[in-house]
């Protein structure tokens, strides 16, 4: 019986790293055709690169065809390891720039969603301060969930994150930046929309369907504290807003984000004096290894823009 042999990777070459970067882009874009613009190369070339990587690894990384693009289980593991490897490579490059006292390379900042409309958030001003001192740095801005940002900073995928505080990790350093007010909203088709004068208590909310975030967060903490049953789950503020707008659910949203819906008569706050809670947003970086000069500069720019003391 013939035994099928698998290719052994051996030493990782520059070509391997280039192929892994192509693979990362294909996964992030959701397919080879979608990655064509991102990579600025033809789909046929991308397909050849992925095939070359599969041959090099001795693994089938993805399925492509009429059913669409999807990763195999092996592909999912390789993608996770690719993120770690490329983060380490970028960190090495940043360290070399540090040694040469250069402000260059790439920097990845991840921000919790729907912060741009918060009048207390001065992230754009911080970016302007940073760019004035480090114009050669390629700044990459990501938007993600709280858990994704925390994990990405810990893994080195992001050099810095901005999240609502909920629980602190000993492996991260925090700088409190700004606040946010969360109010309870109902949509125009909800029974409570037309009965603004009817008083409610926290216990009274149990008779109404509630939509909340599906991961550990201040939103989940207040849900548990007030024993609200989550009848629908969202994984970002946009999805919670969509559920509220359906008329079937109550849910908490940042007041600055919901303001446009309120002005349009699509939702209103329910007893805002009672049903509210405050969030504090902080920037996070890894404690170890020590942040690069570029990361530290962006950290200091955020602190300066928000008029707070460096933690």
Instruction: State the sign of the Cα–Cα–Cα–Cα dihedral 297, 173, 126, 237.
Output: positive
Distances (CA, A) of 142 to 107, 260, 263, 290: 11, 24, 29, 22
How high is the pLDDT of residue 1? 40
Contacts of 129 (CB under 8 A, 6+ apart): 301, 304, 305
What is the phi/psi pair of residue 250, to 5°? -95, 155
**For residues 108 and 159, is the Cβ–Cβ distance under 8 A?**
yes
How high is the pLDDT of residue 143? 93
Residue 2 clears pLDDT 80, i.e. is over it: no
Residue-wise pLDDT tens digits, 226-246: 989 899 999 999 999 999 999
Beta-carbon count within 10 A of 122 CB: 19
Domain ranges of the chain: 14-82, 179-279
Residue-wise pLDDT tens digits, 188-206: 999 999 886 668 899 989 9
Q: Which residues pair with 160 in a beta bridge?
A: 109
How high is the pLDDT of residue 100? 55
Q: Compute the mean pLDDT over every residue in the chain, rounded to the nearest whole number.
A: 88
Please indicate whether residue 88 or residue 138 has the higher confidence score (pLDDT).
138
Contacts of 107 (CB under 8 A, 6+ apart): 94, 137, 138, 139, 140, 159, 160, 294, 295, 298
Residue-wise pLDDT tens digits, 92-113: 776 666 665 565 688 999 999 8
Quickly state the pLDDT bin for 29 (edges 50, 70, 90).
Answer: confident
What is the phi/psi pair of residue 278, to 5°? -110, 145
Q: Which architecture does CATH list for 14-82?
A: Orthogonal Bundle (1.10)
How high is the pLDDT of residue 16? 85
Quickly name the fold that domain 179-279 has: D-Maltodextrin-Binding Protein; domain 2 (3.40.190)
Quickly state the pLDDT bin for 3 (edges 50, 70, 90).
Answer: very low
Question: What token pair was written down for 269?
Answer: 């706050």
Q: Please tell me the pTM assigned to this model.
A: 0.70
Greatest distance between any 2 Cα atoms in the chain: 81
């Amino acid at each position: 019986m013939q035994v099928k042999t698998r290719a052994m990777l051996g030493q990782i070459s520059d070509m391997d790293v280039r192929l892994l970067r192509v693979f990362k882009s294909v996964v992030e874009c959701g397919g080879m055709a979608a990655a064509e613009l991102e990579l600025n190369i033809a789909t046929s070339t991308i397909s050849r690169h992925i095939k070359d990587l599969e041959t090099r690894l001795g693994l089938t990384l993805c399925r492509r065809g009429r059913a669409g693009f999807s990763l195999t289980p092996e592909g999912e593991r390789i993608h996770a390891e690719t993120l770690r490897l490329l983060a380490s490579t970028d960190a090495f490059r940043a360290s070399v720039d540090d040694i040469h006292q250069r402000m260059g390379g790439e920097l990845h900042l991840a921000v919790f969603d729907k912060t741009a409309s918060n009048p207390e958030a001065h992230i754009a001003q911080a970016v302007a301060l940073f760019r004035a001192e480090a114009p050669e740095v390629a700044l990459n801005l990501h938007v993600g969930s709280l858990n994704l940002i925390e994990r990405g900073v810990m893994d080195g995928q992001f050099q810095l994150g901005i999240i609502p505080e909920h629980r602190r990790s000993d492996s991260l350093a925090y700088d409190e930046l700004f606040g946010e007010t969360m109010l309870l909203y109902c949509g125009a088709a909800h029974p409570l929309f037309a009965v603004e004068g009817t008083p409610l208590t926290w216990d009274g909310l149990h008779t109404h369907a509630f939509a909340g975030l599906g991961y550990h967060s201040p939103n989940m903490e207040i849900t548990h504290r007030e024993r609200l049953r989550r009848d629908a789950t969202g994984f970002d503020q946009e999805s919670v807003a969509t559920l509220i707008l359906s008329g079937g659910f109550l849910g908490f949203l940042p007041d600055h984000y919901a303001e446009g819906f309120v002005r349009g008569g699509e939702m209103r706050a329910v007893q805002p004096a009672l049903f509210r809670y405050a969030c504090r947003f902080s920037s996070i970086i890894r404690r170890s290894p020590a942040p690069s000069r570029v990361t530290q500069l962006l950290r200091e720019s955020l602190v300066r823009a928000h008029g707070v003391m460096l933690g």
